[in-house]
A and B are shown apart, each in its own frame.
Chain A
Amino acid sequence: MAQDLVLEIAGLEKTFNPGRANAVTAISELDLSVRPREFVSIIGPSGCGKSTLLRLVGGLIDPTAGDLSVNGRSAQEARLARDYGMVFQAAGLLDWRTAVRNVELPLELMGWSKFRRRARAKEMLELVDLDGFASHYPAELSGGMQQRVSIARALSFEPSLLLMDEPFGALDEMTREYMQTELLKIWRETATTVIFITHSIPEAVFLSTRVAVMSPRPARIAAEIPIDLPERAPQVRDTEEFFRSVSLVRRTLRSVEHE
């Protein structure tokens, strides 16, 4: 296996309740490779197993068959080595901790000293433009702010890979577009590889260097579409190239759904 791939998946299969009457094959024959510094969006019909794929990559559940390696090691090893940071649709902040202490949580679990982790957490809050809100509790922050804290938390220990499961799904359109711009800024500044689950086509096109389209269940990667936009600024959403890419992804998705 090539050492320079962040993620390499071949012939992946996941069956829930195998061998029983209620067995469900969520993923079958799935192949995907991700190189360092890529931003790959995974898009597909709802319920097709996008989140399952992300949990497999994160080693939160184990595959039934196939090969999956993260930074050249198994998903479990990668999880124990803290190779990736994870962001869910719900920010999942601990409501008894201030913003800065939420960002500190993974560092605390890793045994960092109080001084070091506080300094790093402050740095991370600066990165997501929340330096003024370090001592606020989650209940005092808006949904978008909470999600930015959650991103800062995922990046606090500088993982090489960021796994995001519909992170902006619960946000309103305006906040969503703002968060997308912020995320691109963070991606550029931190040199992280991102795997991003979404069901919004414009979101996938705007953010990604590559869009992977998943088929309905049992899911596989049915098509991969490289996205080549001249610059990733908010205005790009109004350009001819953007529309062309969006329409290409949409047509691919439709053809996959009706296979």
Chain B
Amino acid sequence: MTDRSTTRRARTRRTLVFAVFLVVLALLYTGYKAFGQAVDDTQRDWWVVGSFLPRSDDKNMPPVLDILAEFGQAPREGGTTIGRLTLDGALFTLREAAVGFAAGTIIGLAIAVVLLQSRRAERGVLPYVIASQTVPLIAIAPIVVVWGRTGLEFLPWEWKDWMSVSLIATYLTFFPVAVNGLRGLQSPSPEASELMQSYAAGRRQVLRRLQLPASLPYLFPALRIAATASVVGAIVGEISAGVRGGLGRLILDFAGKYITGPERLYVAIIGACITGLVAVGVVAAAERLLLARRGIVAQ
């Protein structure tokens, strides 16, 4: 009981610290803006703001309150508000990211399990896994989309463009899972392996009862990285695939209209941040649930 109340208190404190951090950030932003404005108002060439510090006029840095107000504005009279558009876009993107994350986790784990079987496989395949991440995402995205539109007719279901976006998210997700997963699977001590051997345990039993559970503390940091990577992958994928309905398209639209309404792009950026935080939050909750009772409480 006391355990639970202390963790609840810790959680409340974390939320509070985060809120204070946000307020401080807003104050710093506003403070710098006021400073830049004051420098500009002197009408003299101070060479500070505008030469080596960013300009702070309303185009470059819309006021915090304007950004907040923009959530409630509608681009067309009586239409959907920017906040609502962003929320819908975030949910759309989150779905793509979640599918990509799930597929990436499964593929990453499968690669780790295969590489675990032999040192030779590890040495032969791992360099390619690493090399796969050096290919720029922007180059892969159109290829994946074209494949999706033309090459996947043999599938029993209709391939939609958003699935291509998920696939792009998968491409970013599987990598940390495979690399950390392999390390985790290799983490049990030689004694633990000998013990399983002394029980005449088969390879699959060792994997299930020893290696997989032992890999979880290594896996979760990778899953957190994979969660943010899947959101980034989905947004970039949407932009290069031209998929409508998600944050990527919204960011592209708002960036195009930046001159007339810079606040909107800021709203979309905040939306993307929150989407990433939600993704990481879900992973962290799963981690707490699975690891909290090992005596090592996850942070």
Chain A residues with CB under 8 Å of chain B are 55, 58, 60, 79-82, 84-86, 88, 90, 92, 94-96, 105-106, 108-110, 137-140
Contact = CB atoms under 8 A, between A and B. Distances in A.
Contacts of B194: 55, 60, 86, 88
Contacts of B294: 95-96, 137, 139
Contact of B198 (A86, A94, A137, A139): A86
B257 interface: no
B201 A109 contact: yes
Interface in B56-108: none
Contacts, number: 57
Interface stretch (B15-23, B28-36, B109-117, B205-213): B205-213
Contacts of A110: 199
Given A60-B197, A79-B198, A84-B198, A94 B293 contact: no
Interface residues of B, number: 21
A60 B201 contact: no
Contact of A139 (B196, B213, B296): B296
B195 interface: yes
Given A84-B198, A109-B199, A137 B295 contact: yes
Contacts of B197: 60, 79
Contact of B199 (A90, A95, A106, A140): A106
A109 B195 contact: no
Nearest to B293: A137
A92 B213 contact: no
Contacts of A85: 198
Contacts of A96: 213-214, 216, 294
B189 A92 contact: yes
Q: Which 5 A-B pairs have the closest CB atoms?
A: A139-B295, A86-B198, A92-B191, A106-B199, A80-B200
Given A85-B198, A92-B195, A106-B199, 11 more contacts: A60-B194, A79-B200, A86-B194, A86-B195, A90-B191, A94-B192, A94-B213, A94-B214, A96-B213, A110-B199, A140-B295
A106 B196 CA distance: 8
A96 B214 CA distance: 8
A116 to B, nearest CB: 17
12 contacts: A60-B194, A82-B200, A86-B195, A86-B198, A92-B189, A94-B192, A94-B210, A94-B213, A109-B196, A109-B201, A137-B293, A139-B294
A58 B198 contact: yes
Nearest to B290: A96
A94 B295 CA distance: 12
A131 to B, nearest CB: 21
A55 B294 CA distance: 30
Given A90-B189, A109-B205, A95 B198 contact: no
A92 B199 contact: no
A105 B210 CA distance: 10
Interface of B: 189, 191-192, 194-201, 205, 209-210, 213-214, 216, 293-296
Nearest to A82: B200
Nearest to A80: B200
Contacts of B213: 94, 96
B200 A88 contact: no
A138 B196 CA distance: 18
A149 to B, nearest CB: 13
A109 B210 CA distance: 11
Nearest to A139: B295
Contacts of B192: 92, 94
A79 B214 CA distance: 24
A104 to B, nearest CB: 11
A202 to B, nearest CB: 26
B193 to A, nearest CB: 9
A96 B189 CA distance: 15
B199 A82 contact: yes
B198 A60 contact: yes
Contacts of A80: 200
B261 to A, nearest CB: 52
A92 B200 CA distance: 17
B131 to A, nearest CB: 34
Nearest to A105: B209
Given A94-B210, A137-B293, A137-B295, A88 B195 contact: yes
B195 A138 contact: no
Nearest to B192: A92
Given A58-B198, A60-B198, A109-B201, A88 B209 contact: no
Nearest to B198: A86
A208 B295 CA distance: 37
A108 B201 CA distance: 10
A95 B195 contact: no
A106 to B, nearest CB: 5
Contacts of A92: 189, 191-192, 195
Nearest to B194: A60
